[in-house]
Structure formats: structure tokens, C-alpha cells
Amino acid sequence: MNSYHSYHYIVPIIFNGNPWLKYLYALRDNPQLDIILRKSGDHVPSLKAHISSLDFSTQLSVVKNLIDTAQAKTTFWGSRVIEVNGFTGSVYLADVARKILKAGSQRSDADDLTPAERVAGIDTVRKLEKFYQITDLQIKTSNFFTKFLNRIREFSFTPYTTRFFIKERAEENFRAYSRSKFLQQFGGVFDEEDHHPACDGAFGPPLRILAMENKIRALPA
């Protein structure tokens, strides 16, 4: 058994039921914190387990309500994480961002988002963007070690990172309609120059028409 696994199994036994267990594992930024805390008698639900149990594609309103109550922070080890009162532990911001990106892409392809789901998706993306901005400031004012580890964690050979797509594409997925669904939802016709009062552009393939956000918010839920 290597030193990491020896530490992993011995520490819970030594600190079982001791409040220092939380402090120790929080400092280690250990992804198995939630499991250990439950074994030590803390029965508060795990945020990581709760996030994993959600189907982001079909539970967008639930996800939005959860993220609305979340707080973003940067750990000593340079990770951007999200915490929610009432849950133990934290989840990586990038993991949640990837889930909402995947959900938006799936539902845009399916072309079956309801107005309420579109608004929930847009609001969630905006909150995640804000979390990146909040943690940017935290990293900027952190110590050298935290800054160094953050740069290592987030180093990429390409600019097309999860954060890039959250900023540049995620919201569009929740404003996108097929041409037929767009006309069904907003009525009217496209003029000779392909303009429509509710249209805010297009992308593809497959072709998706972007609806103006205010037009979506004005639709009945």
C-alpha cells in the first residue's frame, strides 16, 4: 500500500467523530471528503452526490434553483469550486459547467426546450459566468502558491476551454430553435433578407435560429 492510500485509510480511523477531520480533508481538497464525513457520523447530504444524481438535460429548473443558492470560491490548492448551504463538500466549477454545456447541446439538438427550461438554462449559464469572475478576483488576490497551482490546473494548449464555451456558446443553446419551431413559437414570417422581429441570428449545422432573450422571457411558461 503506497503512502497516499495508507494516509487515506488511517486518517479516518484516527479522527473518526472529530471535527478536525473536516478541517484536515478540506485542506487536502480531497474529492473523497464527502464519503469520509458520512462515515464519521456527519449525515448532511453530499453536494457531489446530489449533483451527480441530477439529470441536467431534464431538470434544468432544479439545477437553476440549486445554483442560485451556491457560492463560488477558490481553494488553497488553486481549484475553482462551488459550495451550497445544506450540503457537505464542494464540486468543481468546471464539472458543473461541462454538465450544463452538455445539457444545452442535447436539448438544442432535440429542439424541444420549453420556455421555462430556456430561461432556467440562460440564468444558470449567467450564474456560472459570474462564478468564474468571482474566482478570478479571488485568484488575483491569493498567495503565490495558489496562483501557481491554478495556472497548472487550467493550463491548456487551446483557447477552446470549458470556460470559453460557457461564455461564447452555452447561452445560445438555450435560445436556439429549428426554423419551423421558431415560426411555430413566435409566428410571423422571415422577410426577403431573412429578418424576423424575434430573431437574433443563427448558427449551425444543424441550422438553429436564435431568439431574442426578451422574446423568450415574454412567452408563457
Q: What is the pLDDT of residues 165-214, one digit of tens each?
A: 999 999 999 999 999 999 999 999 999 888 999 999 999 999 999 999 99
**Helical (H) or strand (E) element with 203:** strand 199-203
* H-state helical runs in 15-74: 20-28, 33-39, 47-53, 60-68
Whether the predicted pLDDT of 5 surpasses 60: no
Contact 64, 104 (CB under 8 A): no
Q: Which cell numbers hold the place of 69?
A: 443558492
Q: Where are the beta strands (DSSP E) in 5-128?
A: 70-74, 80-84, 91-92
What 3-state class would DSSP assign to 113?
Answer: coil
Residue 2 has a pLDDT of 44
Residue 162 has a pLDDT of 97
What are φ and ψ of residue 90, in 5° steps? Answer: -150, 170
CA angle (97, 99, 102) in 5-degree steps: 110
Q: What is the pLDDT of residues 140-153, one digit of tens each?
A: 999 999 999 999 99
Residues near 27 by beta carbon (within 8 Å), at least 6 away in sequence = 76
Q: Which cell numbers hold the place of 114?
A: 420549453
Q: In 3D, which of 70, 61, 72 has the Cα closest to residue 174?
A: 61
Contact 134, 72 (CB under 8 A): yes
Whether the predicted pLDDT of 37 surpasses 90: no
- Separation of alpha carbons 118 and 217, rounded Å: 9
Q: What is the pTM of this model?
A: 0.79
Residue reference for cell 436556439: 176
Contact 115, 80 (CB under 8 A): no
6: left (phi over 0), alpha (psi -120 to 50) or beta: alpha
Residue 24 has a pLDDT of 44
Residue 39 has a pLDDT of 52
